């Protein structure tokens, strides 16, 4: 086997309080062979959801590195739920105290705890869910891709655009997928908005407006304050992903980020970004000081021939207005019926299985993810390296 050494991890000058980490680690690179040629069945999308169809298929071997990301347990629950698609071989959590807290929970019970090296050398391993703290995501992702793994990488993709590009470039070279963990990509209301915008139902889209807020406590504020990008970086990134899906990469971005309790901590907890396009604008708001903020989360796309207003985002409700009938969606303005997908992350891992098996192309290619990360950093008033 070929041994490779991964370069040192880049660190952000905006997070000086965080210790510099070295990503160097010698790992075994295994040859990855796409299994699509031998697969006769997979996942079929129907009515905004998915179902399994066909004959037998080989399960995808997958592991998880890290448990400290806010979405980590939900991702593992989803992988284990789809036991006919995925074989979870183990989990990496180097923090002993953290593991003792988790090992007997329903999420992690009976899973084998491994070192990162052990996991990446499991025979037949194809994919890794990277669910560490944000400051470690890119270093771990880089090592996983170097080992020949597809990855589900939780958000946001670190604080270094050049480091993220390096990960994407290596994955592209090896024909591996990097699936970002933005949680609204497979939400049925967002899927409808993406389709309508792509197929021109809205005519010329001149406005997108998004709000992504919640209320957090003192301990969460302390943890989030370690990242200079604040609420926009940690939370607003979810809807920035959707804005870029609809409008593409903006020509200019202006951030208006504020500290509500400046005497208490350094957290930018009330953030606004204005994204400019040649003939459109988008606004993204994100705060962590809004009581019952989830109720007012929204995503609105407006064009000269129609619009969609999604509010709240989970469980989604959407009002669609179009001046012409499109398929089963009649001309006029009405709340549309949305077929629930199931769990929040079901779509991610059902789609990932199809991509790994070569049954479809990724709907969010590296060019999109890189553009999203650039917007996230600029909207968070962070430097672009």
Q: Are residues 266 and 291 in the same domain?
A: yes
| Better-predicted residue by pLDDT, 60 or 48 | 60
Q: Are residues 354 and 297 in the same domain?
A: no
- Mean predicted confidence (pLDDT) in 306-331: 97
Residue 5 has pLDDT above 60, yes or no: no
Residue 267 has pLDDT above 90, yes or no: yes
Amino acid 340: pLDDT? 82
pTM > 0.75: yes
Confidence of residue 117 (pLDDT cuts 50, 70, 90): very high
Q: Are residues 238 and 113 in the same domain?
A: no
Q: Are residues 78 and 158 in the same domain?
A: yes
Q: Are residues 144 and 69 in the same domain?
A: yes
CA distance 13 to 100: 34
Q: Could you tell me what percent of the chain has a pLDDT over 70?
A: 85
Residue 141 has pLDDT above 90, yes or no: yes
Give the model confidence (pLDDT) of 376-385 as tens digits. 999 999 999 9
- Cβ atoms < 10 Å from Cβ of 138: 24
Residue 52 has pLDDT above 90, yes or no: no
Amino acid 23: pLDDT? 59
Do the beta carbons of residue 298 and residue 290 sit within 8 Å? no
At residue 368, what are phi and psi to the nearest 5 degrees? -65, -50
* Token duo for residue 274: 């204005």
Decide: helix, strand or coil at residue 125: coil
Strand partners, 289: 215
* Domain harbouring 224, CATH code: 3.30.360.10
380 found inside a domain: no
Confidence of residue 56 (pLDDT cuts 50, 70, 90): low
Confidence of residue 252 (pLDDT cuts 50, 70, 90): very high
Number of separate domains in the chain: 2
Cα angle at 112 between 170 and 182, to 5 degrees? 45
Q: Could you tell me what percent of the chain has a pLDDT over 90?
A: 84
Extract the runs of DSSP E, i.e. beta strands, from 241-375. Answer: 252-258, 270-277, 280-287, 298-303, 306-310, 318-322, 332-335
The residue segments making up the domain with residue 26 are 2-182+346-364
Residue 106 has pLDDT above 70, yes or no: yes
325 found inside a domain: yes
Residue 95 has pLDDT above 60, yes or no: yes
């Amino acid at each position: 086997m070929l041994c490779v050494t991964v370069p040192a991890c880049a660190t952000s000058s905006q997070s000086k309080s965080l210790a510099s980490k070295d990503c160097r680690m010698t790992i075994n690179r295994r040859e990855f062979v796409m299994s699509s040629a031998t697969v006769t069945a997979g996942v079929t999308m129907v009515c905004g959801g998915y179902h399994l169809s066909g004959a037998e298929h080989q399960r995808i071997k997958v592991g998880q590195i890290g448990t400290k990301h806010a979405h980590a347990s939900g991702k593992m629950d989803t992988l284990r739920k789809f036991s006919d698609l995925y074989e979870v071989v183990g989990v990496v959590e180097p923090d002993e105290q953290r593991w003792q807290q988790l090992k007997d929970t329903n999420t992690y019970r009976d899973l084998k705890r491994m070192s990162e090296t052990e996991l990446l050398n499991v025979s037949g391993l194809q994919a890794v869910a990277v669910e560490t703290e944000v400051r470690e995501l890119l270093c771990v992702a880089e090592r996983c891709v170097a080992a020949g793994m597809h990855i589900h990488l939780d958000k946001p993709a670190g604080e270094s655009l050049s480091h993220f590009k390096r990960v994407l470039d290596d994955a592209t070279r090896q024909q591996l997928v990097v699936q970002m963990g933005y949680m609204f990509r497979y939400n049925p209301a967002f899927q409808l908005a993406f389709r309508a915008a792509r197929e021109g139902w809205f005519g010329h889209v001149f406005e997108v407006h998004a709000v992504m807020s919640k209320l957090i406590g003192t301990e969460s504020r302390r943890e989030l304050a370690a990242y200079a990008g604040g609420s926009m970086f940690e939370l607003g990134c979810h809807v920035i992903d959707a804005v870029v899906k609809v409008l593409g990469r903006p020509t200019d971005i202006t951030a208006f980020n504020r500290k509500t309790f400046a005497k208490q901590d350094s957290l930018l907890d009330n953030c606004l970004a204005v994204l400019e396009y040649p003939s459109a604008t988008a606004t993204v708001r994100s705060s962590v000081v809004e009581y019952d903020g989830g109720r007012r989360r929204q995503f609105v796309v407006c064009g000269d021939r129609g619009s969609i207003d999604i509010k709240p985002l989970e469980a989604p409700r959407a009002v669609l207005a179009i001046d012409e009938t499109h398929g089963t969606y009649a001309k006029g303005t009405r709340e549309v019926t949305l077929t629930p997908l199931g769990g929040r992350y079901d779509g991610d891992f059902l789609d990932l299985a199809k991509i790994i098996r070569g049954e479809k192309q990724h709907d969010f290619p590296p060019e999109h993810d890189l553009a999203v990360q650039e917007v996230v950093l600029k909207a968070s008033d962070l430097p672009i390296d």
